[in-house]
């Protein structure tokens, strides 16, 4: 679309629509990114817990689990 041929009113309306579109797109992009990051973080925690439970079941020493996972011994004991 050529905006050079638009009247001043049409051009202003066009620019307002472009700005509105960009605002909506930026909002959606931000929401998607935040949702993805939150989902990824939750999945990471679930995976960590599962790994700790498996290590405990296999008889790994709590101090070794702590060293490998970065979790405190108290956090490991809670799982």
Residue spans of the domains in the chain: they are 8-78
Residue 1: is its pLDDT beyond 80? Answer: no
Contact 14, 6 (CB under 8 A): yes
Contact 2, 14 (CB under 8 A): no
Residues 6+ apart with CB under 8 A from 53: 79
End-to-end CA distance of the chain: give it in Å, rounded.
60
- Tell me the pLDDT tens digit for each residue of 2-61: 888 899 999 999 999 999 999 999 999 999 999 999 999 999 999 999 999 999 999 999
Q: What is the pTM of this model?
A: 0.59
1 closest CA partner among 23, 18, 25:
18
Distance CA 78, CA 53 (A): 10
């Amino acid at each position: 679309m050529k905006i050079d041929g638009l009247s001043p009113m049409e051009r202003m309306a066009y620019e307002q629509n472009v700005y509105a579109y960009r605002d909506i797109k930026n909002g959606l992009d931000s929401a998607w990114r935040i949702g993805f990051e939150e989902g990824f973080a939750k999945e990471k925690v679930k995976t960590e817990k599962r790994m700790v439970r498996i290590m405990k079941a296999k008889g790994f020493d709590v101090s070794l689990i702590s060293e490998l996972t970065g979790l405190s011994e108290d956090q490991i004991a809670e799982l």
